[in-house]
A and B are shown apart, each in its own frame.
Chain A
Amino acid sequence: MRNFILRRLIYAIPTLIGVSIITFAIVRLSPGDPIRLFVFGQRDITGEDIERLREAYGLNKPIPMQYIDWLIAAVQLNFGQSFIYHQDAFQLLLSRVGNTLQLAVAALALQLVIGVPLGVIAALKRGSWADGLIRVFGVAGHAVPSFWLGLVLIIIFAVQLRWLPSVGILTVGKDAWDIADRFKHILLPAFVLSLTGIANYSRILRTETLDVLGQDFVRTAHAKGLHERTVVFVHALRNALIPVVTALGGILAGLVGGALVIEQVFSWPGVGQFTFQAAIAKDYPIIQAATMLVSVLLIVSYLLRDIAYAIVDPRIKAS
C-alpha cells in the first residue's frame, strides 16, 4: 500500500509541472502589459519608472527564465500581490477556500444520499414506473443548465415564496455559528450543484446493481436459501458500490468547475466567485494562484480517490 501511494505521488509531479506551465502561459501570453495595468491611473509616473518596475518584477528576462523564477516563488506559495487589493494573492484566496469546500462537501453528500438509493431502487424495481421515472431523471438531470435551475429556484423559493435566501452564506448581522441560518443559505446552491452528480450516480448504480444481481455469486447466495434482503444488501450492494468510488474523479472535477458558475448565481463568496471577479479585472496573481490551487485540490482528490479505490477493490493494487 505504501509503495502504491508513493508511486501515485511521484506520478503527480509531471502533472503539476504541466499545470504550472499552463498557468504561467495563460498570463505571459496574454495581451496587454501587466505593468501598464499595475500603474494604471497613477499620473506622476515616467517611462523610466516603468522600466524600473519591469526590472523589479523580472519582466525583462527571457520567458523560460521568467518561468523558473515564477515556479520557485509559486512553490513557496508566493504568487505576488493582487493588482486590485494590493495584498498577498494566495492569502486572499485561501480565505475563500473554506466556503467553497463547504458547498462542495454539501453537494457531494447530497449526491451520495440521493443518487445512490435512486439507482439501487431503479435496479431492484426494474421495469416499474419508479424505474422509468428514475431513468428519465438520469438523462434529464444532465441536460438541465445548472445556472438556469439556480435562477428558477431563486424565483420560486426566494422571490415568490420567500422561504429561502437567494444570496450569500449568512444573513448580515447574524452570528457566524448560526447553523440554521447557514443551512438555509446552503440548501439551494448545494442542491443545484449536486444535480448532475445525482443523475450520474443514479445511472451508474442502476447499471451496476443490475450487472451484479445477474452474477453467479448472487445466484449462489439465493440457492443457499439466504433471505432476499441479505442477498441484496450484504452480497450484491457491496460490489455494486465500487463504481461509486471510480466515478468520484469526474464528480469532483464537476463540483469544482460547477462551483465556479453556481457561486456566481448565488453570490456565494467562494474561490469560484473570487476567481471570476479576478479574471474579469485581469488580476493575474489571483488568477494564477487560483488555477494552481484548484488544480492541486483536484490532483489531491484524484489521489485520495485512487487510494480509496485500492482499498475497496484489492484487484487494482496488483495491476
Chain B
Amino acid sequence: MASTTAAIGSRAAAEALVLRPPRSLWSNAWYKLRHDRLTMIAVAVLVVLGLLAAAADVFAQYVFTYTYEKQDLLHTYEKPTLDPPAYLLGSDEIGRSQVVRLLYGGRVSLAVGFVAALVNLTVGVAIGLTAGYMRGRVDDLFTWFVTTLNSIPTIFLLLIFAAIWEPGPVTLTLVIGLLFWTGIALFVRGQTFALREREFVVAARTIGARDRRIMFKHILPNILPLIIVLAAIDIGAIILVESALSYLGLGILPPTPSWGNLLTNATSYFVRAWWLVVSPGVMIFLTVLCLYLIGDGLRDALDPRLKAEK
C-alpha cells in the first residue's frame, strides 16, 4: 500500500516535472511582457503606425486618391474636412494633402530611425566589446575618442555636417548612425569589463577558445538583453534628432515628406492654419513615446533589478 502511494507520488512528481517546461530568459521575459498592459498597448500603437506608413501607397491611391506631391493652389490652408477625404487633416500652403504627406513622412522618419539605430548599434557594440575586452592601449584610444566626441554636442556636429555636405537621405541616415554610438559603446564596454573576469569566460579561455569566440559567443549573449532595451530607446532618440534637423531644413528635404520637414514652414501656419502644426508633432510624439515605453517595459521584463537609466 505504502509502496503504491510512493509510486503514484513519484509518478505525479515526474509528470509535474514534464508539465512545467524549462523557462529560458527569453520565454520568461515574453511571459512578463504579455502581462504588462502598458507595454503591449505601446507595441500595438507602434505596429499600427508602422503598417499605416508601409501602406501609404495604398491609402493614397484608394482612400484619399491624392498623391503626396499633388498640389491644388485653389485650395490652400483648407480646414480639416471629410470632403474631400484627402483634406482629412487639412491642406498646406500649396494645397497638398496633410494626411497623405503624414503617411509618407512616417515611412521616411521610421526608416531613418530604424536603419540609423541599426548602424549605431552595430558600431557601438563592436567598438565597446573590443575596447572592454582588449583593455590597455585599445581602451585608452577608445576613451579618448569617445570623450572627444562627447565634448561636441552631437546635434551641433550633425547640423554642421548637414549644412556643409548637404547629404541625401541615405547618407544622412548613415551619418546619424555613425555619430550616435558613443552611449551604447560606453555601456557595452562597462558590461564587458565586468563579464570578462567571470568564471565562464576564464573557463572558455582555459579550453583554448580564441578571443573572437569568447567575445561573440560568451560575452555578447550576456549583454544582448540590455542591448535590445537600448535599441528601443535609441530609435526614439534618433527619430527626434532627425525631425529637429528636418524642421531646420537640413535633414530630409522636400518634396520628400518627413514628420520634421512638414513643420519647416510652420511660421506661416501660425495665424492661418494652426492645425497643420499639430499633426506632425503628435505623430513624432506618439512614435517616440511608444518606443520609450517599450524600452522601459523590456527593461523590466529582461532585468527587473536594473535601475532606471539616467
Interface, chain A (partner B; CB < 8 A): 14-15, 18-19, 22, 26-27, 30-31, 139-140, 142-149, 151-152, 154-155, 159-160, 200, 203-204, 207, 211, 243, 246-247, 250, 253, 256-258, 260-261, 264, 275-276, 279-280, 282, 287, 291, 294-295, 298-299, 302
Complex contact A26–B308 (CB within 8 A): no
Q: Is the CB of B310 within 8 A of A250?
A: yes
Contact among B147, B159, B240, B277 for A151, CB-based, below 8 A: B277
| Contact of A276 with B159 at beta-carbon distance under 8 Å, contacts A145-B284, A147-B263, A151-B277 already known | yes
Query: Is A145 a contact partner of B156 (Cβ separation < 8 A)?
Result: no
Query: How many pairs of residues, A versus B, come closer than 8 Å at their CB atoms?
Result: 144
Interfacial chain A residues near B155, Cβ < 8 Å? 257-258, 260-261
How far does the Cβ of B283 sit from chain A's closest Cβ, in whole Å?
A: 10
Bound-state Cα–Cα, A67 to B71, Å: 50
7 closest Cβ pairs, A-B complex: A18-B148, A257-B153, A148-B281, A279-B163, A143-B289, A143-B288, A257-B155
User: Which residue of A is nearest B155, CB measured?
Assistant: A257
Question: Are B159 and A142 touching (Cβ within 8 A)?
Answer: no
B185 to chain A, nearest CB (A): 16
Tell me whether A155 and B270 are in contact (CB under 8 A).
Answer: yes
Task: Check B270 against A159 for contact (C-beta < 8 Å).
Answer: yes
Tell me the smallest distance from the CB of B24 to a CB of chain A, in Å. Answer: 29
Smallest beta-carbon distance A248→chain B, Å? 10
Interface residue tally on B, bucketed by range: 35 or more
On whether the beta carbons of B151 and A299 are closer than 8 Å, the reply is yes
Q: Does B145 contact A (CB under 8 A)?
A: yes
Contact of B296 among A139, A246, A282 (CB under 8 A): A139
Mostly helix, strand, loop or mixed at chain B's interface? helix
Assess the A30–B164 pair: CB atoms within 8 A: yes
A145-B281 contact, Cβ under 8 Å, with A204-B310, A207-B307: yes
Is B131 interfacial (CB-CB < 8 Å)?
no
Q: Can you show 20 pairs from A to B with CB atoms below 8 A apart? A: A18-B147, A26-B160, A27-B164, A139-B289, A139-B293, A147-B244, A151-B266, A151-B270, A155-B274, A247-B310, A257-B155, A260-B159, A275-B159, A276-B159, A279-B163, A279-B164, A280-B250, A295-B151, A298-B152, A302-B151
B160 partner, pick from A152, A264, A279, beta carbons under 8 A: A279
Q: Which residue of B lies closest to A251 (CB)?
A: B310
A22 and B152 in contact, given A145-B244, A155-B274 (Cβ under 8 angstroms): yes
A256 proximity list for chain B (CB < 8 A):
153, 156
Interface flags, B145-188, vs A, CB<8A=1, else 0: 10111111111110111011100000000000000000000000
- Near A by CB (< 8 A), chain B positions 116-164 give 144-145, 147-157, 159-161, 163-164
A282 and B164 form a contact (CB under 8 A): yes
Asked whether A15 and B156 contact (CB < 8 A) given A139-B293, A145-B285, the answer is no
B236 on the A face (CB < 8 A): yes
A148-B152 in contact (CB<8A): no
Q: Which residues of A contact B98 (CB under 8 A)?
A: none
15 new A-B contacts, CB < 8 A, other than A142-B236, A155-B270, A275-B159, are A15-B148, A18-B148, A18-B151, A22-B157, A139-B292, A142-B292, A143-B288, A151-B266, A155-B277, A204-B310, A207-B307, A243-B310, A261-B155, A280-B250, A298-B152
